[in-house]
């Protein structure tokens, strides 16, 4: 092949540039790896609203990336055009969870490596990444944090309520406090000694306490 042959291309000549066997093997393996990524995503999801559509997108993205890289590696002219075409693509969907970015890059990287013919690297790398995510993301703390919202009518009732909470919890941290005439609102991060939340009922019945709301806290925190 000389320099001129590189830039000779026609529609019919590109039909056989990728064999049927290569296409079937690449797409089948990309589907399996994408499905594995989807299962790891499902097992490690820690957000509030689980999106099954995003999991399916991970499978599709792995296969689409494999398809694109197969086409690019088979034709130099197509690879140059593909770079220009992809440079104008913009994604407007907001990523709500930082970990979702890792899964997106994982799907793209697996598709690229697989289509490049590095099948052992794609499989072994995906397994290692999956195990790492399962170990670290699913690592739970021994105590679950909660946010307790208290509304009291003054300093005395605030002090009594806080002392009562400290007796029921292993750790109490004031996250915020707002005060106005005749009303004090406290936001406390607490670690319960056990899963019993009946103390909230007793807390709400204390003199000077207008309301007590306990909310499970799923955000990041320092132990």
What is the distance between the alpha carbons of residues 223 and 203, in angstroms, rounded to a whole number? 26
Which pLDDT score is estimated for 221? 44
* Pick among 3.40.50.300, 1.20.120.530, 3.20.20.150, 3.30.70.260: CATH of 145-216: 3.30.70.260
Q: 1 Cβ partners below 8 Å, 6+ apart? A: none
Buried b (16+ CB within 10 A) or exposed e, 174-187: eeeeeeeeeebbbb
Kind plus residue range of the DSSP H or E element containing 131? helix 119-137
Q: What does the pLDDT look like over 33-49, one tens digit per residue?
A: 999 999 999 888 876 66
What is the distance between the alpha carbons of residues 210 and 17, in angstroms, rounded to a whole number? 75
Which pLDDT score is estimated for 151? 87
Tell me the Cα Rg of the chain.
Answer: 28
What are the residue ranges spanned by the domains of the chain? 3-137, 145-216
Comparing 140 with 157, which gets the higher pLDDT?
A: 157
Supply φ then ψ for residue 132, to 5 degrees: -60, -45
Q: What does the pLDDT look like over 7-37, one tens digit per residue?
A: 555 555 566 667 788 888 989 999 999 999 9
How sure is the predictor about 84, in pLDDT bands with cuts at 50, 70 and 90?
A: low
- 175 secondary structure, DSSP code: E
- Report field, pTM of the whole predicted structure over 0.75: no
What is the distance between the alpha carbons of residues 29 and 36, in angstroms, rounded to a whole number? 11
Strands 145-152 and 169-180: unpaired
């Amino acid at each position: 092949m000389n320099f001129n042959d590189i830039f000779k291309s026609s529609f019919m000549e590109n039909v056989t540039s990728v064999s049927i066997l290569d296409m079937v093997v690449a797409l089948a393996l990309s589907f399996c790896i994408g499905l594995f990524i989807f299962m790891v995503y499902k097992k490690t999801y820690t957000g509030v609203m689980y999106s099954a559509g995003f999991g399916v997108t991970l499978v599709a993205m792995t296969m689409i990336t494999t398809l694109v890289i197969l086409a690019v590696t088979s034709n130099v002219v197509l690879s140059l055009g593909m770079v220009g075409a992809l440079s104008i693509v913009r994604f407007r969907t907001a990523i709500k969870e930082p970990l979702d970015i890792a899964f997106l890059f994982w799907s793209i990287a697996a598709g690229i490596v697989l289509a490049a013919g590095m099948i052992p690297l794609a499989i072994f790398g995906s397994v290692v990444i999956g195990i790492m995510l399962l170990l670290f993301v699913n690592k739970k703390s021994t105590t679950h944090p909660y946010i307790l919202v208290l509304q009291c009518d003054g300093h005395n009732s605030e002090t009594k309520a806080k002392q009562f909470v400290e007796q029921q919890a292993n750790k109490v941290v004031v996250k915020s406090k707002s005060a106005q005439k005749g009303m004090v609102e406290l936001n406390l991060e607490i670690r319960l000694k056990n899963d019993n939340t009946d103390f909230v009922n007793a807390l709400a019945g204390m003199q000077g306490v207008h309301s007590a709301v306990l909310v499970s806290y799923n955000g990041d925190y320092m132990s």
